[in-house]
Structure 1
Amino acid sequence: MRTIHVIGIGAGDPRQLTLEAVEAMRGTEVFFVLDKGEEKSDLTALRYGMLDAHLPDPGAYRVVGVPDPERDRDRGAGRERYARAVDEWRAARAALFGRLFRSELGEDGVGALLVWGDPALYDSTLGMLAEVRAGGIDFATTVVPGVTAPATLAARHRTVLNRIGGAVQITTGRRLAEGFPEEADDVVVMLDAHTRFAAYAAREDLDIYWGAYLGTPDELLVSGPLSEVSAPLVRLREEARARKGWIMDTYLLRRHREAGAERAPVVLPGN
């Protein structure tokens, strides 16, 4: 039976690969890598760099690179259209990988997918593989956890995601746009393409810990009271996205319910 490893590779730094991830990589015959186009070519290059860094014999494996199916990214789409677009995109990916598993991997072959961050957090790979299996291809799946972007974010800012006895909520930019989760004091926001935090810039009770390109040489970090750093952060993000053509960022919003609480230090690039 075929085996497919789903390997979490962290936020971008080859050193964030776990020993379990390296072991799984060294037992892989074929790596399937999606090419997201010239604009995001550095994401593909980082994956190749991880293979070069941790696999001593390049002749022991093959890399099969294919273009990622296009996805409807209408930024004005509502939740229903967004969900439909994601379902269609995932189905296209499932059809693609179904063909690749048949054509590129023997009946007892071992393949792998290198997943940014962790396969369990806002990633569709496992759901996509379930669709591949439902399409009639039998294979075993192993999952290797990876260092998440929120974990890297907290480490870079030398903070924690939740305070003593408290909870942390992980959500998306789309949901933050619907309203700040008032029951939560620490909120990690991922997949925010529209700087939704700026809508809360007038609030004096919120701090932000923000990071982009985490774990890469282009890493950017910003922190401080949201009312002070929101405007320069929006400009910084726009400039970074224009410069590279893409951006991946994550941030923690921290609410202070009591006056006199210790606030996040103001950190802006260039300060």
Structure 2
Amino acid sequence: MRTILVIGIGAGDPDQLTLQAVRALGRADVFFVLDKGPSAADLVALRRQILDQHLVPDSYRIVEAADPRRDRDPGNTAGYGVAVDDWHARRAELYERMITDEVPEDCVGAFLVWGDPSLYDSTLRILERVEARGAVAFDCEVIPGITSVQALAARHRLVLNRVGGPVTITTGRRLAEDGFPPGVDDAVVMLDAGTALRDLDDPDLHIYWGAYLGTDDELLLSGRVGDVGGSIARTRADARRRKGWIMDVYLLRRDPPPAPSP
């Protein structure tokens, strides 16, 4: 039986790999990497850097394939689910071909997932589709990784939750559509295309923002949204123009209510 490993590789720093993940790298016969085009070549290079740091260089095999394109228009609210479903279906066809062609019986293939496979990543859902198609059989093992949420908290020296309180994790799309979640004091926002923060109607929210966490290009800013929101937007836009891509995440936090008078 073939084995497919889905390995969380952290938010960008090769040192963020767990010992379990390093051992899993050593089991793989082939690593699958999706090429998102020249503007995102850094993402492939960072994966190669991770493999070179933890494996003997040139001892492993990488198979690259062009990632199917999908509609990423942040304003396409009505068609978002349809666009993602179509993208996942085409990815499933691609994964099926790669596994069938590149992973012989009793061998091991691996997907290197940014952050952790359980948080806003599609790899496991797509592999479920491949299994459901029934054309190729394999066992799937998941190795957790450090998420950008954890890396953000560490870099800003934060505890994400208040004492006894919850933390909401949401997306830029939901923040743009619904505003800051009602009844929430602490919200982590991922996958913001760059417009959600601009339209927030509460300038007194505190923000802790980070981009390219764990890499040499890491950017960190914090303060009240009304004071630093414009600076974050400009920094983000400049970084995206310079590199061609950006990965960022931020925590929005309300001030705690004043303590009651004695």
Tell me the TM-score normalised to structure 2 length: 0.95
Q: Once the 2 structures are TM-superposed, how far is the Cα of residue 74 of structure 1 from its aligned partner?
A: 2.4
Q: CA RMSD in A?
A: 1.3
Q: Describe how 1:259-270 pairs up with structure 2 within 5 A.
A: 259=258
In structure 2, relative to structure 1, the CA distance for the partners of 1:57 and 1:239 (3 Å cut) is: closer
Q: Which residue of 1 aligns with 2:81?
A: 83
One-letter amino acid matched to 1:15: D
Q: Once the 2 structures are TM-superposed, how far is the Cα of residue 179 of structure 1 from its aligned partner?
A: 1.8
Q: Which residue of 1 aligns with 2:39?
A: 39
Q: Note if contact 1:201-1:230 (Cα within 8 Å) is conserved in structure 2.
A: no
How far, CA to CA, are the matches of 2:105 and 2:38 in structure 1? 33
Q: Describe how 1:104-119 pairs up with structure 2 within 5 A.
A: 104-119=102-117
Q: Once the 2 structures are TM-superposed, how far is the Cα of residue 151 of structure 1 from its aligned partner?
A: 0.3
Q: Note if contact 1:201-1:226 (Cα within 8 Å) is conserved in structure 2.
A: no
Deviations 1:94-146 (A, max 9, x none): 10010111111101110000000000000110000001111111100000000
Q: Which residue of 1 aligns with 2:52?
A: 52
How far, CA to CA, are the matches of 1:249 and 1:57 in structure 2? 30
Q: Describe how 1:213-252 pairs up with structure 2 within 5 A.
A: 213-252=212-251
Q: Once the 2 structures are TM-superposed, how far is the Cα of residue 75 of structure 1 from its aligned partner?
A: 2.9
1:174 aligns with 2:173: yes
Q: Note if contact 1:212-1:250 (Cα within 8 Å) is conserved in structure 2.
A: yes
Number of aligned residues: 257
How far, CA to CA, are the matches of 1:256 and 1:57 in structure 2? 49
Runs of 4+ that moved beyond 6 A: none
How far, CA to CA, are the matches of 2:9 and 2:88 in structure 1? 21
Q: Note if contact 1:173-1:189 (Cα within 8 Å) is conserved in structure 2.
A: yes
Farther off after superposition, 236-245 or 191-200: 191-200
In structure 2, relative to structure 1, the CA distance for the partners of 1:167 and 1:110 (3 Å cut) is: same
Q: Note if contact 1:201-1:227 (Cα within 8 Å) is conserved in structure 2.
A: no
Matched-pair identity in %: 58
Structure 1, gaps ≥5 residues long = 261-271
One-letter amino acid matched to 2:237: E
Q: Which residue of 1 aligns with 2:145?
A: 146
How far, CA to CA, are the matches of 1:203 and 1:228 in structure 2? 8
How far, CA to CA, are the matches of 2:217 and 2:84 in structure 1? 29
One-letter amino acid matched to 1:93: R
Tell me the TM-score normalised to structure 1 length: 0.92
Q: Which residue of 1 aligns with 2:67?
A: 68
Q: Which residue of 2 aligns with 1:266?
A: none
Q: Note if contact 2:74-2:173 (Cα within 8 Å) is conserved in structure 1.
A: no
